[in-house]
Structure 1
Amino acid sequence: MEDDRRSTETTAEPSSDSFIPSADVFARVSDAVYALDSEFQCTFINERAEALFTRATESATATADAVHSLFSDAHTRALESQRPLTVDAYHDSSDRWFEARCYPGETGVTVLVRDITERKTQEQALVDGNRRLRSVFEDAHDAIVVGDTDEIVAANPAASELLGLERSALSGRSLEEFVHDDYDIESARTALLEQGRLRDSVSLIRPDGSERVVEYTAVADVLPGAHLVILRDVTDSRRRKRQLERQRERLSALDHVNRVVREINDAIVDGSNRAQLEQVACESLADSPSYEFAFIADIDARSKQITHRVEAGIDDYVETIPLSTDADDPAGRGPAGTAIRTGTMQVSNDVFSDPSFEPWYEDAREHGYASAAAIPITHDDVLYGVLGVTSARRNAFTDEERDVIGQLGDILGHAIAALERRRVLLGEELIELELVIDDAVEIFDGPSMCGHSVWFDRVVRIDDERYLEYGTTAAETLPVVETLIESVPHWEGVTVIDESAGEVTFELTISAPPMIGVIDAHGGYVESAAIEDGDYTTTVRFSTGTDVRDVVDEIAAVYPGMRTVARRRVTPSRESIEQLRTRLAETLTDRQQVALETAYFGGYFEWPRHSSGEEVADAMGVTPATFHEHLRTAQRKLITAILEEPALLDREPADDP
């Protein structure tokens, strides 16, 4: 019978006995025993050996074959060497392991045999377990380190990659060498020894200077004096988490800023005044979880002093911190001062690392903000103030959030400018200036205007750059006006609206006019203007709160020859609805009144119309042409009564020569 077998062997000291023991001796031995002579013939086998080999071979006759097949080489070597020999052999047919201890003598070999299958199974399980543990150690994705406080005694490949050194280079180094300085190693070591296990996170600094954030689990004394540490690199996941958190913060902040914009727009629609608009803006920002506090400061045009207007989320802030518009002053190089000088939004997204923010370091610590923004409130190049906003978040004013919050300056500027114009149009009292530019036509190398006059009755703003100016002149002067258009860069074209009785009514298209742009930007309007003999004269009006000196300076910067002829306070008369009706009744004929009322109540002005012109004419008993003539005349008189400037009362003497 041929078996596969594996064996291990050991040798022992030679026995002093060279004889085969008697049967009584064998009977006292608890192991299976058999003896062979020098020819390797079996001379003795005890019952235990017979029973053992019978179980293994399932046949008593196969005992000798089993003995020779398992241990024949051991018999020979023991006898030849005359040294005791112990071997292990695996019997494939029975799937059993046997151990044979061979004791040679001059006449043969005595062999003790035992079944060691259970022991071999346990040993193999231990080997397999160690192999699996080694595989886990070597192939683990997480870094595994074994060592004491002074030296790493074992590290897997993942630890080598995490720490940025070859495994051979880690030998002799301590894991603590890689731990960031801000981590309390002593406290962590004490907690590990007391608790036996510790979980925490820490930053590791690799030899190349790069930083990795890890979460670790440490187990104390896995070997005498040595600790096991498993480290998981969470740098990328932490970075993604921070990115998601910052994204959520930005989205939340954008929602808050958009809500502020809506609240400002609602305040505009509700007819709030400037102080109310500014209060709404600051309070909405301060109430938002994204921001700490907000303020609006005013700038004196002449002294350049920054003063408080509105604050929310804080009290008496502007008056207690250093602020300046002077670039040579450290207090003027921060966001607010720079925003005022440049007219552009300024941000400091990390105030403590911003050298220009040094004058306010203590203030930032005291009030708990890490980012600050200053947004100029402007419209048509006129600065109405600066909006300051702070946030506890670093990098708060970036990307979309910066763009949206920057729009607050434009929105507030546009709203304030509109309110200023409204104050002028509806104000109880106005400031009126008469300005003259001598030889204005010659400034543009235009044609001679000697003996010619042009009157400008009204300027209508179409958009930010384009205006329409309506006026009249003599028919013989119109060609001169058309020639002048070629000389004045902001005059684009003239269109004749009407010509009768030697007089022409025209529409002049102008683009970004320097003087009108300045007047409009300060909330004023042109009441009248004229060119007479080449000199340009205009009367303009502003609200009483306007710094007219600043206006005059800006116009003089464009037209150095401009002079102020008069400055006075005027009070427009205000007609009531009843007065307007009375005046219309006095100017409208009966048929014009009937045409207007019939058209209105007949639904002619609805859209879509409830009645056509022919139907209204039929109701009046007139022809359509007659109806339209009466209606147009009535409409013109109505619009004239509304738009024509009422008489001015209580003019004060000029206070500017």
Structure 2
Amino acid sequence: MDTGFEHAPIGILEVSPDGVVRDGNDAAASMLAVDAAASAGEPIDTVFPASVEGRVPQAFETPPDAELSFVEYYPELDQWLAVDLVPGDDAVYVYLRDETDGRRREQRLDSLRSDLRRLTIGNELIADMLGDLVGASTREEIAETICRRLGGTDIYAFAWVGERAVGSGEIVLQAAAGTTGRTLEQLKTALDGDADIPELRTIERGAPTIVGSLGEDKSVPEDIRRAAFADGLGSLLAVPLTYGSSVYGVVGIYAAERNAFSERERESFGTVGEMAGFAINATRNRSLLSSERVVELTFRLADPAAPLVATATETDARIDVTGVLAQGEELRCYVDAETERSPDEIGAVLADHESVIETRTVAEYDGGGSIEVVQRAETPLGQLLSQGGTVQSATFGPDGDRVVVDLPPSEDVRRIADAITRRYDAAVIAKRERRRDERTTGEVRDSVTDRLTDRQEEALRTAFFANYFESPRGSSAEEVADALGITGPTLLHHLRAGQRKLLADVFEATDRRPDVDRSATDG
């Protein structure tokens, strides 16, 4: 081979018109992973590794008479090679260039463009969905909103929402949308049986789950894997619908591509799951507030998993719950303790309980005191609140342990009761249905608090139960603000705004003050 060819920066082969390699430079041998000397005299199809289209050997099926250029991927080499065939007088010259780095850069760019497109569409989708969830008034509407949004886009194949049946591990299909095909039918069958599907594991863990390859992941039941393959589905993202420590259900999102869901999508849809859980909890609370009738359940609760039960038993004190505030995965309770011990001693016993995060003495008086108790939401009181109940009273001590809770009649009261009695040492000792107007204090409270924002009501309730309005104060503004996770000035702003609305309601004023003639003087 010509000396210039031998030292050329590209690979060069000299091939006879009938496809026999005559010579080649070291660059060509390196690219093709062959021995340069041993390749001489070999047919071109033995020197070149196989490619998908096999265009080099095909070009020599008849002697090439025109230049030919193409790029092919060679799996054995894991390389893309640019090939130029140039016929000469009695030879064909094959020029080779390694295009692997360039092609991989293009693939990465394509992947980034695809991810950016999915991210842009996904963010817009999530923003629209969150807006719709705010206005949803029923659990069915929440499920349909999620499925309609997700199933109506071209980046996801279909979506379904299942809600957890209270008091059991069953999941009830609420809604589905998109091209569901055979996969949804197999999911329904799995829900009716004992099959372990990713969506059920998501509910148990309370965290999103990604299945990158539906056809190969052995944790997916075989019938669902086959159905997903037949429907052209490649991956799954399952997201729990959560509020605090409660998991209300799950949304399963299916895509055609394998590994379609990035960690960023996983995080974004985690927000959707939290918002949907919040909306479900809100619909339950609205159902209770708007219902003309409520179901009142009285529980006997003797489980030491409840810190107030355990403390009352250990100290022989009577503990009355005066206020309960749900704050995400925590429950802030205000209690009055009737005991010969100091409230600091009672608080110390409470603080030793594994479910209690912190305690603080709010007030001390003869025969007891008031205590603020922050406990984990995974307690009986927290579970009752998460099911849409309102704790009317709770008393623990020598005279018995009782919790009275109101539930909307639209809820499956039996299932809610079973959920508590199966999990804890508890029993329903009384149940009655009554009209809301039998309890005028509740009616007054609802009409007054309708005028407050959620933050104003939370600030006023916390300050009230923390004895902030007492004289002397049981809690400072800083302590109340710290309980709410806000600054002191922000607390005072909410308190002033809330107090003004309440006073306006009492004095039959409107939110807008009447114009005042500032030039007038008192007579």
Normalised by the length of structure 1, the TM-score is 0.58
Q: Which residue of 2 aligns with 1:516?
A: 381
What does the per-residue CA deviation read over 1:612-653, in whole Å, with 9 as the maximum and x for residues that have no partner?
xxxxxxxxxxxxxxxxxxxx9996896899xxxxxxxxxxxx
- The SS at the match of 1:486 is helix
The alignment status of 1:215 with 2:78, answered yes or no, reads: no
Residues 422 and 496 (structure 1 numbering): CA distance in 2 closer, same or farther, change over 3 Å? same
Residues 431 and 233 (structure 1 numbering): CA distance in 2 closer, same or farther, change over 3 Å? farther
Q: Which residue of 1 aligns with 2:123?
A: 258
Give me the identity figure in percent: 22
The alignment status of 1:433 with 2:297, answered yes or no, reads: yes
The alignment status of 1:143 with 2:11, answered yes or no, reads: yes
Structure showing greater radius of gyration is: 1
Q: Which residue of 1 aligns with 2:233?
A: 369
The alignment status of 1:571 with 2:435, answered yes or no, reads: yes
Q: Which residue of 1 aligns with 2:482?
A: none
CA contact under 8 A between 1:454 and 1:530: conserved in structure 2?
Answer: yes
| 2:79 counterpart letter in structure 1 | R
- 1:46-445 paired onto structure 2 within 5 Å: 135=4, 137-148=5-16, 151-177=20-46, 178-180=48-50, 182-185=52-55, 188-189=58-59, 196-205=66-75, 209-219=76-86, 221-224=87-90, 226-270=91-135, 272-300=137-165, 304-314=169-179, 320-322=185-187, 331-332=195-196, 334-357=197-220, 358-438=222-302, 443-444=310-311
Residues 563 and 248 (structure 1 numbering): CA distance in 2 closer, same or farther, change over 3 Å? same
Quote how far apart the aligned CAs of 1:142 are. 2.9
What does the per-residue CA deviation read over 1:143-166, in whole Å, with 9 as the maximum and x for residues that have no partner?
222225663212223212211234
| 2:211 counterpart letter in structure 1 | S
- The SS at the match of 2:145 is helix
Q: Which residue of 1 aligns with 2:395?
A: 530
Q: Which residue of 2 aligns with 1:460?
A: 325
What does the per-residue CA deviation read over 1:193-213, in whole Å, with 9 as the maximum and x for residues that have no partner?
5873433332225xxx54212
CA contact under 8 A between 1:180 and 1:202: conserved in structure 2?
Answer: no
**RMSD of aligned Cα (Å):** 4.1
- The SS at the match of 1:535 is coil
CA contact under 8 A between 2:24 and 2:36: conserved in structure 1?
Answer: yes
CA distance in 1, matches of 2:503, 2:80: 79
Quote how far apart the aligned CAs of 1:417 are. 1.9
Normalised by the length of structure 2, the TM-score is 0.71
Unmatched segments (≥5 aa) in structure 2: 449-498, 509-523
Quote how far apart the aligned CAs of 1:337 are. 3.9
> Using CA pairs below 8 Å that are at least 6 residues apart, which structure has the higher relative contact order?
2
Residues 442 and 528 (structure 1 numbering): CA distance in 2 closer, same or farther, change over 3 Å? closer
CA distance in 1, matches of 2:302, 2:23: 95
CA distance in 1, matches of 2:372, 2:433: 30
CA distance in 2, matches of 1:215, 1:574: 86
- The SS at the match of 1:487 is helix
Residues 192 and 556 (structure 1 numbering): CA distance in 2 closer, same or farther, change over 3 Å? farther
CA contact under 8 A between 1:152 and 1:174: conserved in structure 2?
Answer: yes
- The SS at the match of 2:314 is coil
What does the per-residue CA deviation read over 1:94-139, in whole Å, with 9 as the maximum and x for residues that have no partner?
xxxxxxxxxxxxxxxxxxxxxxxxxxxxxxxxxxxx97xx52x334
What does the per-residue CA deviation read over 1:335-391, in whole Å, with 9 as the maximum and x for residues that have no partner?
334324433322222333334444334433443332222222223343322211122
CA distance in 2, matches of 1:298, 1:634: 38
CA distance in 1, matches of 2:428, 2:435: 20
| 1:242 counterpart letter in structure 2 | Q
Quote how far apart the aligned CAs of 1:429 are. 3.5
| 1:211 counterpart letter in structure 2 | D
| 1:216 counterpart letter in structure 2 | V
- The SS at the match of 1:533 is coil
| 2:241 counterpart letter in structure 1 | I
CA distance in 1, matches of 2:371, 2:506: 18
Residues 341 and 454 (structure 1 numbering): CA distance in 2 closer, same or farther, change over 3 Å? closer
- 1:548-627 paired onto structure 2 within 5 Å: 548-556=413-421, 559-560=424-425, 562-573=426-437
What does the per-residue CA deviation read over 1:503-533, in whole Å, with 9 as the maximum and x for residues that have no partner?
9773532321511211122222211112352
CA distance in 1, matches of 2:123, 2:288: 31
| 1:309 counterpart letter in structure 2 | Q
* Equivalent pairs, count: 442
CA contact under 8 A between 1:144 and 1:159: conserved in structure 2?
Answer: yes
